[in-house]
Each structure stands twice: as structure tokens, then as C-alpha cells.
Structure 1
Amino acid sequence: MLLAIDAGNTNVVFALLRERDIVARWRIATDPRRTADEYAVWLFQLLSLEGYAMADVDAVMIATVVPRALHNLQVLSEKYFRVTALVAGQAPVEWGIELDVEQPSSVGADRVINAIAAHHLYDGDLIVIDFGTATTFDVVDYGGAYKGGIIAPGINLSLDALVAAAAKLPKIAIAPPESRSVIGRTTEAQMHIGVFWGYVAMMEGLVARMRAEIGRPARVISTGGLAVLFDEHSSIFDAIAPDLTITGLSLLYQRSLKN
């Protein structure tokens, strides 16, 4: 079985796959100081709860945007799963798609993997929106080439910055306002409107501009924890793909077997 590991800025997601089917997934806060032994203790217990053992894992595939986290994840694979981890974007796991941007090496692994998975799952030109620490908008053309995109502050990051910089503003939850009015009558209501509807307006505006620049119909695919929440309050999404990155890792692993 394949253990796919997606190490992001906020969380590390572990997914156990049989063929391309996800049979279990877990997440833990990203901490580059976390040792391979700490990961192993945590994973051993979770695998056991799902009826699996460490010996059931015969391959490990890692994607990370946190370089300092990579070494301990590689040690985890070597020491506890007895396999050399494959790292997305590093030989022998090449991307296999064109990165049609000025600095291909600077594109985050998660964004390339999402592009690969989105092109595999959906036809035509695509805009992939990933709600993470940052919210990224990525354009994938009908031939599967990555054409570039946008990086915006994630909604939680925006809210944290607002609260940190304004002493009298309270901490609020990320949730839609109770009404669709955009004239708030309390401080909390005004914050909800500004953060939530402001974010929806930002997404809708950027997607409209991207579609106009692409010049062809483009489907919008969303992924990440807040995708479902925003889907309920905006009509811009054509599909929700919560496991897009894990799907991409699985595709890369399957390709590596053929090389």
C-alpha cells in the first residue's frame, strides 16, 4: 500500500491508499522539528485503529512546501517502513507536465501536483483554487500545461492579521454572516461581512479576470478545507475535489512504476 504524505505550511496530511483508493487519512500540525520517531509513534497508533500495520506500507510518496520537514519524513520512511521515500518533483519522480512560467523551480510542489490531478480528472482549461495557508489560483490549459496563477493570503491568515493589528477587534470564527446584508450593525457582524463576503468577492473577481485573460471557457475546481463552505455561497465553482493533492501524489507514484 502507498502512504502519501502532503506536508503543507499548516498541516501534514498522511493518506493510505490501496491502488488509487484512499482507505484512511490523518493530519497533524506541521512542525519541522518533529522527529521521525514522533511521527512513527503517532502513525502506529492511527494505523492500528484502522486495522493496518506498519508492514502494510510498501511505498511512500512525499510532497512538501516546507523543506525543513522533508528530512524527518524521509527518515520515517527508511527507519519504520523500510523503503526509500519518493519525493515529488525529484528524480525519478519527474513532473511530466510543462511548467510554462518564468521560474519553474519556484512553483510549489502542491500546486504542480494539483495541476496534474485536475488535468487527469477534468477536461479543458482549468482554474484550480486551493484553500490553504495561502489561497492559490492556478491555471492549467487544455493540454495539461501549468500556465501560472495567483497567490493570495488565506482567509485565516487575513483574519489573524486583522485581529493582531487592531487591539479592540475580537477573534471571530470563519463562518458566513447570519444574513446576506453587507451593512453590519455590530462590530462582530461587520468583521464577518468584511472577512467572509470580502473573500468571496475577491475570489469571484479574480476568477472573472482569469477567465477573461484565458479567452476560452475555463472550469473552476476547488480543493482544501474551506472549499465546501465557500461553494455554498458562491456559484463560481464547477467541482469540489477535496482529495486533489493526494490524487496527484497517487498518479505520480503510478507513473514512477512505469519508468
Structure 2
Amino acid sequence: MKLLLDAGNSRIKWQLRDGVSVVCAGVGQAESADLFNELDDELWARVESVAVCTVRSEIAREALEHAIGLYTRAPVRFFWTEPRFGDLVCAYEQPSTMGADRWCAMIAAWHAINSACVVIDAGSAITVDWISARGRHEGGYILPGRNLMLDSLSQKTARVLFQRGQDRTSLSPGRSTSECVLHGVNWLLRALAVELARDAAAPVLVTGGDGAYIKKALEESADPKLDVRLCPDLVIDGLAQVASH
């Protein structure tokens, strides 16, 4: 069996797969002691290899490799962005400078659509990438995600004081600083979806923690015929394909 990890800046999502079947899965904070709670000794003993897609620092990557080594002696391999994968070609002159999570998400999207599509990963950062009908990555955008925007306002402004609430949908003008901030972030994410809806003609595949919000906003803003899909496991699906190649 193969253990697959999508190691982001703030959380790690993982799946244990037997071929294409998911045996068990989990998600948690990167340094959390209970990250692998769902894996017992019997399952760890069946792990044959570990594949990791990460955007974390070298020190954090080494710490993660050490943490995995406490449970299994299976080889751990880190995968990075390459100039191409099959018919999919990276637009970057230096592909290694692209986050591996973006690349894995595009690989999974291309495998699913095999034609022009848009890939959105709405995590700590929001990435938007276009793939042509010929499998050419045409470039993309990187924007701060919800938590990065809130962190920036919290840490860089002395008098913008707010509490992080659960209101992730309201667009009404706020009547307190907290509402102004939280509704303002919703408004910006909605504006992103509106802009995408204006440009997108090909299927849109959405993943990441705020993927459901982006998908809903897209569906409300775009032509009803636009194919918008929420794909929570897009990065791990792509990683599985790369690791099996």
C-alpha cells in the first residue's frame, strides 16, 4: 500500500491507498502529534512506500520525513514540479519553482478532463491555472487565501481589531470591525469568482479549504452551463498518478 501526503503550509492531508482504493485518510496540523491517529500498527506495517507533495520549507520537510520514519521504514519520496507529465506541459521556464501542489492538481485535472480546463486551489494561498485543450499550461495567478488575508489584517494593522468568526458567506456591509473584515474577505473571494465566471468557458475544477465557497460563488455568477466541479482530493489524486508513473 502507498501513503500519500499533501503537505501544505498549515495542514497535512493524507490518504493510504491500496491501488486506487482509499483504505483510510486523515488531515491535521503539520506538527500535530495525532496527525496519523487513523493509522494503527497493522496498517503501518503494510505501507510499502510514502509519496509526498509539499510546499513547506526544507527544515519542515526534514521534520516531516523524520516524523514518518518513527512509524515506518518504507522509502519516502518527495515529488516536485517537472517540465511535463505525459501530454501536460508546464508553462514555467523553471518548473522547479512552481509549488508541487499546483502541479499535482493540474495533473489530476488534465487526467479527468483531457481537454481545456481551469484549476483552482483555494487553500492558504489561492492559485488559478489554465490548461489548454492541447495540455499546455497557459499560466495562472497566486492570491492570498482567506486565512492569509485575515493574518495580514491582524498582524499589520494596529486598530483593525476583530475576532475570527464562522460567517464565511455574508456579503452585507459590516456594522462592526469584525463584520467589516470577515464580510470584506467574503466579498473579495466572491469578486474572484465573478471575474472567473466572466472568463471561464472550459470546465472548472476546484479544491482546497475554501473550494466549496468558490464553487458556489462561481455557480451563482456564471453561465448555468459552465461545468464547475468540487474535487477535494485533486492534489492527492495527481500525486498518486505521479508516484505510480
Contact conserved, 2:80 with 2:96, CA < 8 A, in 1? no
* Alignment of structure 1 residues 146-161 onto 2, 5 Å: 146-161=137-152
Contact conserved, 2:206 with 2:214, CA < 8 A, in 1? no
Contact conserved, 1:124 with 1:142, CA < 8 A, in 2? yes
The percentage of counterpart residues that share the same residue type is 30
Partner of 2:90: 99
Deviation at 1:166, TM superposition (A): 4.3
Contact conserved, 2:122 with 2:211, CA < 8 A, in 1? yes
Matched, 1:59 2:52: no
- 1:194 aligned residue (164, 180, 184): 184
Deviation at 1:243, TM superposition (A): 0.4
TM-score w.r.t. the length of structure 1 is: 0.79
Q: Counterpart of 1:68 in structure 2: which amino acid? A: I
In 2 relative to 1, CA 186–113 (structure 1 residues): closer, same or farther, beyond 3 Å? same
Contact conserved, 1:174 with 1:196, CA < 8 A, in 2? no
Contact conserved, 2:5 with 2:12, CA < 8 A, in 1? yes
Contact conserved, 2:81 with 2:95, CA < 8 A, in 1? no
Contact conserved, 1:65 with 1:110, CA < 8 A, in 2? yes
Matched, 1:163 2:154: yes
- 1:232 aligned residue (197, 210, 216): 216
Between Structure 1 and Structure 2, how many residues are aligned? 235
Contact conserved, 1:88 with 1:95, CA < 8 A, in 2? no
User: Could you give the per-residue CA deviations for residues 107-159 of structure 1, whole angstroms, max 9, x where no partner exists?
Assistant: 11001100000011124211111011111111122233322210000111112
* Alignment of structure 1 residues 50-89 onto 2, 5 Å: 52-66=42-56, 67-76=58-67, 80-89=71-80
Q: Counterpart of 2:130 in structure 1: which amino acid? A: V
Secondary structure at 1:136 match in 2: strand
Secondary structure at 1:57 match in 2: coil
Q: Unpaired runs of 5+ in structure 2?
A: none
More helix by share: 1
Partner of 2:206: 222
Q: Unpaired runs of 5+ in structure 1?
A: 212-216
TM-score w.r.t. the length of structure 2 is: 0.83
**CA distance in structure 2 between the aligned counterparts of 1:52 and 1:177, rounded to whole angstroms:** 42
Contact conserved, 2:196 with 2:218, CA < 8 A, in 1? no
Matched, 1:4 2:4: yes
